[in-house]
Chains A and B, each alone.
Chain A
Amino acid sequence: MKIQILGMGCPKCKQLTANAEQAVKEAGIDATVEKVSDLREIMKFGVMATPALAIDGEVKSAGRLLSPKDIAGLLRK
C-alpha cells in the first residue's frame, strides 16, 4: 500500500505526514508514506486544496488535516 501526502511544505502538510506515519505504525500494515512536495507532481493528482492524501494513487482526502484515527479509518476501507 502506498500512501502519498501532497503538500508544499507548510506546517499542515508536515503534520499530516506525521499523522499518516503514526496511523500506519499503529495499524501494523505494510505501507510506505511518501511526501510529494513538487507542485507539478501534486497537480497530476488533480487536487485544489493541500494538504491532500492519496492511497495507491487515489485521492482520498483533500484540504483537510486528518488525524491518525481518520487516516486509520481510510486505511481499513
Chain B
Amino acid sequence: MIKRLADWIVFDKMGLVPKTHFGEAVDFFIYDLMKIFLLLIVIVYAVAIIRSYFPPERARKILGGKREFGGTILAALLGIVTPVCSCSACPLFIGFVESGIPLGVSMSFLISSPTVNEVALIMLWGLFGWKVGVLYMTTGVAIAIVAGWVIGRMHLEDQIEEYVLQFRVGGGQSDVAPPTWTERHQEALDYTKGILKRVGPFVVIGIALGAVVHGYVPVDFVVRVAGRGNPFAVPIAVLIGLPLYSNAAGTIPIVQALIEKGLPLGTALALMMSIVAISIPEMIILRRVVKWKLLYIFAAVVAVAIVMIGYLFNAVLPAIQ
C-alpha cells in the first residue's frame, strides 16, 4: 500500500524511470522513509505507554530477592520494558548494587536494555517478517542472559568502584506517586516526539545509505564479499560494529539493504547488535561506577556471544526460512 504510494510519487509525480539505478534508489528512499516513520510513531508511542508501568524502582524490587540464575533471566526480560536513558545508567546500577542484586544480574539488565530495543524489534518485524523479529528479541535476551551469567561467574565485584558500595538504599523513589492516565499519554507523546527528533536524522541517513546500496551496489557484491562462502564475515561484521554506535532504528535501513544484496541474515544481525549493544559512549558513562577491566570484559563477552549467535543463525536460518 505504502509502496504503491511511493512508486506513484517517484515514478509518476517526479517522472523518474523504474529499474534505473537512480529511480530505484529514490523509490526505495521514499518508500522506506514513509513506512519507517509510520511504524516509529505508532509503536514508540505504544511502548512508551507500556514502559510507564515499569519504573526502574519496580525492576529493583522484583530483582531484589532473586537468586543469581533466575535473576539473570528476569533481569534480561525486565531490561526490555524498563526505560533507561543513558544518564540513568549509573544511578540505576548503584540502586541495583545497593539492593544486593548480584553484579552479573545487573549486567544482564544493562545489556538487554539497549539491545532489545522495541523500535528495532518492531521495525525488523515490519521489514523482514515476524520470524526475524522474534529471532532478534530472543537473541538479544539470550546474549544478555549468557553474558550476564558469565560475568557473574567471573566474580568481578572488585571492579565496582568502592564508593558505590557505601551508599545506603533510600526510599527516595518509592514515595513518588504513579502517573495518571493523562500524564502517561502526554509523556508517551513527548517521548515519541523526542525519539523522532533524536532518531530521525540517523534513520534518514540510514535510509539514504540503504537507498544507495539498493540502487547502485550490484546484487552479488555483498554475497561475494561477505556471503556464505566467507567464514570470517561474522567476526569482521562484529568488529566493524564495535566502535560504531547508533540507535537501533538507524541501523535497520542499512541492514535491510545489505540483506537484500545478499548478506546472510545472521551476519547482518551480528553487525546490528554489535553496533547497538557495545556502545563506547555508554561505557564511558559507566566508567564512573565500574573500572575499565570490567568494561573490557563486558565488551569482549558480549562480542563473542554475538559472533556465536551470528554463526548459529547463518547455519540454522536457511532451514527455517
Contacts and interface: CB of A to CB of B under 8 A. Distances in A.
B176 A48 contact: no
Contact of B92 (A10, A48, A51): A48
B206 interface: no
B85 A12 contact: yes
Contacts of A44: 167, 170
Contacts of B92: 48-49
Contact of B87 (A50, A60, A70): A50
Contacts of A49: 55-57, 83-85, 88, 91-92, 173
A43 B88 contact: no
A50 B88 contact: yes
A48 B170 contact: no
Most chain B CB within 10 A, of A39, A43, A47, is at A43
B231 interface: no
Contacts of A45: 170, 172
Contact of B187 (A47, A50, A59, A64): A64
B175 interface: yes
Nearest to A42: B91
A14 to B, nearest CB: 11
B301 to A, nearest CB: 25
Most chain A CB within 10 A, of B85, B163, B172, is at B172
A49 B95 CA distance: 9
Given A43-B167, A63-B55, A48 B83 contact: no
B86 interface: yes
A18 interface: no
Nearest to B82: A49
B225 to A, nearest CB: 39
Interface range on chain B (Cβ under 8 Å from partner) = 20 to 34
Contacts, number: 83
Interface in B176-211: 176, 179, 183, 187, 190
A24 B57 CA distance: 28
A65 B87 contact: no
A13 B287 CA distance: 20
Interface in B132-187: 163, 167, 169-173, 175-176, 179, 183, 187
B90 interface: yes
A47 B87 CA distance: 12
A39 B90 contact: yes
Interface in A9-27: 9-10, 12-13
Nearest to B52: A64
B224 interface: no
B176 A8 contact: no
Contacts of B176: 59-62
A65 B170 CA distance: 22
Contacts of B94: 39, 43, 48
B94 to A, nearest CB: 6
Given A48-B56, A49-B173, A63-B56, A43 B91 contact: yes
Contacts of B214: none
Nearest to B84: A49
Contact of B57 (A39, A42, A48): A48
Contacts of B86: 10
Contact of B173 (A10, A46, A51, A67): A46
A46 B170 contact: yes
A56 interface: no
Interface of A: 7-10, 12-13, 39-40, 42-52, 58-65, 67, 70
A-B complex: 4 closest residue pairs judged by Cβ atoms:
A46-B170, A46-B172, A10-B87, A48-B95
